[in-house]
Structure formats: structure tokens, C-alpha cells
């Protein structure tokens, strides 16, 4: 394996190479490549998001984050159908993410929930046909980030331009990387494979309904950062209940552990470098192959931003409450939904 090929590995692949190293020299080499990959990735991410902030305003730096997320994921991942149709779907997803989160923020929580359900239905039914590719972690996460960091006026006009540029970049990279692949299915097959009795379709419906309901409840309770609850719910909803139980436990423990670590750093470090705690969290996520550790380090970036608005105590309280509420509600919702579907099937 060449140096470049090893740079393309994910965290699990790099750590697997480290485990299989037979000599200290080999292990040190793989560790060095792994650290170089993280450093290059962090530098590129910082540069990319900074460019978007300069071009479209600091209020739209989140657009750079979402576009970067799409580019990094869909340069390798696909939608499981014909490349040309997948490219058109990606363009449609950008339109949905640009328009629907903004409109939903203008409506009441209930009307916003209905619009979010409709938007997520398109994203999940056509973009998340294979649950084990975890496309929902890109599509739904991007939607929720834009929902949580909504803008108005001229800033929204700039967001339209930024999202249009992001759509063009993502579609170009996706088509270039996947144009030579052969797919047996097309868009029509995705529609025909919708089956309310299958575990995949039930999982999709849980995502479509549960995440917007979580957002709605959080907003009706006047909880700031409602998107945190939605993201937490999205991340733990999986096709199999055993996997859900595992993620719920790891999300709660990881979130609380992350809050404790962030609080310790907050008091130990000078205020001039608080903003860099989020970068430290990004490095930690890059080093983490397991969901529990990713939950720990993801907390750093979220709290680094929220502390500026709500103070340490307010940000920490919101983070814990929103995450626990999101994952517990998601688990309860899916248990009830699966039970209802099984009873309905027996009646038939």
C-alpha cells in the first residue's frame, strides 16, 4: 500500500494497520501516516470553511461545513442507483436544504414539523436506501445544521449563492468519481422497493417522523439549540433495536463525559484559547473510530460555540438535556412504532 493509498483509509482502516504492525518501525510509520492524514484533513477543513466564511459571511460558515461534509462523504459513497440519477438527486437535496429549513423556521413549531417531515422524507427515502452506509449522518445532519443556524435578509441571499456553489461542487465531484460504476437499480426501483413490512422502510419512517417531532417538542418547550436534540435522535435511530440500545448508551455516556472534559479544560485554559477547544474536539473525532468516543469529542465543538451565547452553565445544561431527551425519545418512539407495526401485521 502506497503512502497516498494509506492516507485514504478511514479511522478504522488506519487503526487496523496499526494493530497488524509486526515491528516497532512499521507501527511508527503507520502512526506517522495516520497523524499526517489528520493534520492535512484538519488544515483542509479549516481552509475550506474559512473560504466560505470570507465569500458569504461569517453567518454562513455553516454552509461551508455542510458542503465540506457532502464533498468528503459523497466522493466515495453513492446512493445505490444510476450515477446520472444520483447526481440529479444530490442537486435536489441541496435545493431542499436551502429552502425547507429556512421556511420551517418561519412557521409555528407544528407547521414547521410538517414541512420538516416532508423534506426529510425525500432525503431519506431517496438518499438512504442502504442504512449501513449511514448516508443519514450526512443528509439529515446537513439539514439540521442549516435549520439550527438559519439566517435572514441579505445573509440568506448569500446563503443561496453559497449553497448553489456547494451543489455544483458536490455534483461535479460525485459524477466524476462514480460515472464509471455500474448500478443495477434506478430511481423507479427505489420507489418499488418501499415496503412498510421491511426493516429498512420502518427504519426510514422512524427517521422521517421522529426527528421532526423531537425538534417540534423541543421548540414548544422553548429549549434553545433544538437541533441538538434532533441530531442526537437521528444518530441513534438504526434498523435493529440492539444497535439502537448500544448507541443510546454510548451517546448519553459520551455526551456527559464530553461535558465534564470540556468543563475541566474551560477552567484550566486561559480564555484566549477557548475557541481552540473545538479544534481539539475535531482532532479527537479524527482519532476516534468508535461511536462512543466520537460522541465525547463532538461535544467539544458544540459547547465551544454555545458557551459564547449561553455561558458555560447554560451551554452545558442545554447540551445534556437536549441529548438525553433526543436519544430517549427516539428509543421510545421506535419501540412503540415497531410494536405497533408488528401488531398490525399480526392482525392482517
When divided into structural domains, the chain yields a total of 3
> Would 69 be classed as within a structural domain?
no
Residue reference for cell 461511536: 291
3 state DSSP class of 1 = coil
Provide the whole-model pTM. 0.89
Handedness of CA 149, 77, 115, 333 (dihedral sign): negative
Q: Which domain holds residue 43?
A: 1-56
Sequence-distant (≥ 6) Cβ neighbours of residue 303 within 8 angstroms: 258, 259, 262, 277, 315, 316, 319
Averaged confidence pLDDT in the chain: 88
The burial class, CB within 10 Å (0-12 / 13-18 / 19+), for 140 is buried
Does residue 6 form part of some domain?
Answer: yes
The answer to whether 209 touches 117, Cβ cutoff 8 Å, is yes
Let me know whether 99 and 155 are in one domain. yes
Predicted confidence at residue 224, as pLDDT, reads 87
Q: What is the pLDDT of residues 321-345, one digit of tens each?
A: 999 999 999 999 999 998 888 776 6
Domain contains 63: no
Q: Are residues 132 and 37 in the same domain?
A: no
Length of the chain: 348
181 and 79 housed in the same domain? yes
pLDDT for 10 equals: 64
70 part of a folded domain: no
Whether 137 and 232 map to the same domain: the answer is: no
Q: Are 177 and 249 part of one and the same domain?
A: no
CA 114 to CA 344: how far, in whole Å? 25
Among 96, 348, 335, 347, residue whose Cα is nearest residue 202: 335
- Ranges under pLDDT 70 in the chain: 1, 4, 7-12, 274-276, 279, 282-283, 286-289, 344-348
- What pLDDT sits at residue 347? 56
181 in the same domain as 86: yes
51 and 83 belong to one structural domain? no
User: Domain check: are 187 and 228 in the same one?
Assistant: no
Within a domain: 200: no
Q: Are residues 143 and 188 in the same domain?
A: yes
- Classify residue 67: in a domain, yes or no: no
- 16 and 81 share one domain: no
pLDDT at 156: 96
**Pair 234, 176 in one domain:** no
Amino acid at each position: 500500500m502506497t503512502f497516498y493509498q494509506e492516507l485514504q483509509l478511514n479511522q478504522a482502516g488506519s487503526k487496523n494497520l496499526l494493530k497488524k504492525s509486526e515491528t516497532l518501525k512499521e507501527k511508527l510509520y503507520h502512526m506517522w501516516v495516520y497523524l499526517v492524514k489528520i493534520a492535512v484533513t484538519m488544515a483542509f477543513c479549516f481552509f475550506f470553511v474559512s473560504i466560505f466564511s470570507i465569500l458569504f459571511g461569517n453567518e454562513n460558515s455553516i454552509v461551508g461545513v455542510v458542503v465540506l461534509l457532502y464533498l468528503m462523504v459523497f466522493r466515495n459513497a453513492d446512493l445505490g442507483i444510476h450515477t446520472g440519477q444520483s447526481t440529479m438527486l444530490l442537486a435536489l437535496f441541496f435545493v431542499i436544504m436551502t429552502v425547507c429549513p429556512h421556511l420551517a423556521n418561519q412557521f409555528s413549531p407544528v407547521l414547521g414539523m410538517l414541512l420538516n417531515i416532508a423534506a426529510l422524507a425525500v432525503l431519506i427515502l431517496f438518499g438512504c436506501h442502504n442504512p449501513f452506509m449511514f448516508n443519514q449522518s450526512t443528509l439529515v445532519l446537513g439539514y439540521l445544521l442549516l435549520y439550527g443556524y438559519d439566517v435572514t435578509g441579505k445573509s440568506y441571499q448569500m446563503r443561496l449563492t453559497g449553497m448553489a456553489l456547494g451543489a455544483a461542487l458536490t455534483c461535479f465531484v460525485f459524477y466524476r468519481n462514480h460515472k464509471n460504476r455500474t448500478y443495477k437499480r434506478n430511481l423507479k426501483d427505489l420507489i418499488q422497493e418501499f415496503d412498510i413490512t421491511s426493516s429498512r422502510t420502518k427504519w426510514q419512517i422512524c427517521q422521517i417522523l421522529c426527528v421532526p417531532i423531537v425538534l417540534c417538542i423541543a421548540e414548544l418547550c422553548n429549549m434553545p439549540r433544538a437541533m441538538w436534540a434532533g441530531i442526537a435522535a437521528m444518530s441513534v435511530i438504526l434498523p435493529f433495536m440492539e444497535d439502537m440500545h448500544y448507541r443510546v448508551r454510548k451517546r448519553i455516556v459520551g455526551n456527559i463525559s464530553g461535558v465534564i472534559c470540556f468543563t475541566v479544560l474551560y477552567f484550566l485554559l486561559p480564555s484566549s484559547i477557548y475557541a481552540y477547544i473545538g479544534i481539539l474536539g475535531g482532532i479527537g473525532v479524527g482519532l476516534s473510530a468508535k461511536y462512543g468516543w466520537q460522541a465525547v469529542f463532538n461535544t467539544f465543538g458544540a459547547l465551544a460555540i454555545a458557551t459564547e451565547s449561553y455561558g458555560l452553565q447554560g451551554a452545558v445544561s442545554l447540551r445534556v438535556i437536549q441529548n438525553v431527551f433526543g436519544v430517549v425519545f427516539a428509543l421510545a418512539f421506535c419501540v412503540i412504532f415497531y410494536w405497533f407495526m408488528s401488531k398490525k401485521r399480526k392482525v392482517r
